[in-house]
Amino acid sequence: MGFNKGPSDALPTTPFKGHDHIEYRVRGRILHTMARGPFSNVVEAIPPTIVGLLHKLAQQGCWGQIVNFQQSALTSPTAMQDFAAYLKARYKNTEAKPVVALVFEPDIEGRHLMAPEFLKSYTDAGLKGQVFEDYATALHWVESEISQFSTRLEWQNSHTIGDPAIDEQHRELFKRAAYLLAATSHEGQVISAMRLFHYMRTHLSHEEELMRQLGYPEVETHRLEHQDLMARLNTMSLKIANENLVIADLEEFIGDRFLKHIATADTDLARFANATRSG
């Protein structure tokens, strides 16, 4: 039995030397894997860094893996059995299991023999998997399979405070947070985080200008809350830039802290604004 070979666009690195080599790289919510055989022992070829990478990916929610085989996919029946047992143990008590795309390009040694064997190893471990002949198609499939959303980031009519302009801005902020959650690539996460950060700053500036125009008595207290929100969002944005998106952080920020600000400080501001306008 054997591992497969095939050049890939997934990881633009220098060519591997020799065989029995597995290399990982996390990009957003996808674990890109290069596997160069033939393999004498698949499990021993797995870098120990996989433990930390799995934890990092699980924190992002739904995730996927693309395994690109290079040169050869051949390995022995015993090594294949050991690999299957390893996968079962790895994902035995794991809730955030990935979908797995196995890429065997046409020139990979042993592809017809090994593709079904490797796929079976993943599916027997409880993972959804599929075999592909090219990276682009595999990537498209993985991205479609790991789409995700959070009920805590869904705008509800109960969130409205009675000021049409502010309510519309709040809706947009929730929408941008949802886009960030849905991004599968690191680049997409960074862009979405920047869009959320800049719009939050614009929104808070709008509120502060409104308070100034109205002569709002609680303006300083309200501004301090704004400063805290921006500081927390900045910290989260920096983590995302460093490839450390944690869904729980985003949900807590939008679905808890920001929502509490809407329900208290912003609601009080809207009441004051409406009373001032009607008076």
Q: Over the stretch 214-229, which tens digit does the pLDDT of each residue have?
A: 999 999 999 999 999 9
Res. 18 pLDDT band, cuts 50 70 90: low
Structure tokens at 1: 């039995």
Residues 141 and 99 both lie in one domain: yes
Q: What is the pLDDT of residue 96?
A: 83
Q: What span, in angstroms and rounded, lies between the C-alpha atoms of 264 and 267?
A: 5
Average pLDDT, the chain: 92
3-state secondary structure of 257: helix
3-state per-residue secondary structure call for 138-168: HHHHHHHHCCCCCHHHCCCHHHCCCCHHHHH
Res. 87 pLDDT band, cuts 50 70 90: very high
Residues 99 and 121 both lie in one domain: yes
Residues 190 and 129 both lie in one domain: no
Could you count the other beta carbons within 10 Å of the beta carbon of residue 180?
A: 25
What element of type H or E holds 59?
none
| The domain boundary residue, chosen from 99, 123, 145 | 145
How many Cα atoms occupy the beta-carbon half-sphere of 270 within 13 Å?
Answer: 17
Residues 238 and 252 both lie in one domain: yes
List, for residues 240-253, the tens digit of each pLDDT value: 999 999 999 999 99
Residues 21 and 126 both lie in one domain: yes
Res. 233 pLDDT band, cuts 50 70 90: very high
Q: What is the pLDDT of residue 94?
A: 78
Cis ω for the linkage preceding 38 (within 30 of 0): yes
Q: What span, in angstroms and rounded, lies between the C-alpha atoms of 106 and 218?
A: 68
Nearest to 53 by CA among 70, 20, 87, 30: 30
Residues 124 and 52 both lie in one domain: yes
pLDDT over threshold 70, residue 68: yes
Helices 164-182/186-214 angle, 10° precision: 170
Res. 19 pLDDT band, cuts 50 70 90: confident
CB contact set of 67 (below 8 Å; sequence gap of 6+): 33, 35, 100, 101, 102, 103, 118
Res. 151 pLDDT band, cuts 50 70 90: very high
Residues 90 and 186 both lie in one domain: no
Query: CATH number, domain at 200?
Result: 1.20.120.50
For range 11-35, the mean pLDDT: 79
Res. 9 pLDDT band, cuts 50 70 90: very low
Residues 102 and 193 both lie in one domain: no
| The domain boundary residue, chosen from 145, 178, 200 | 145
For residue 35, report the phi and psi dihedrals to the nearest 5 degrees: -125, 115
Q: What span, in angstroms and rounded, lies between the C-alpha atoms of 140 and 129?
A: 13
DSSP classification of residue 109:
B
Residues 124 and 239 both lie in one domain: no
Q: In total, how many domains does the chain have?
A: 2
pLDDT over threshold 70, residue 254: yes
| The domain boundary residue, chosen from 90, 124, 145 | 145
For residue 272, report the phi and psi dihedrals to the nearest 5 degrees: -65, -45
Query: CATH number, domain at 120?
Result: 3.30.750
pLDDT over threshold 80, residue 8: no
Res. 105 pLDDT band, cuts 50 70 90: very high
Residues 114 and 193 both lie in one domain: no
Residues 115 and 159 both lie in one domain: no
Domain limits for position 90: 2-145
Residues 163 and 193 both lie in one domain: yes
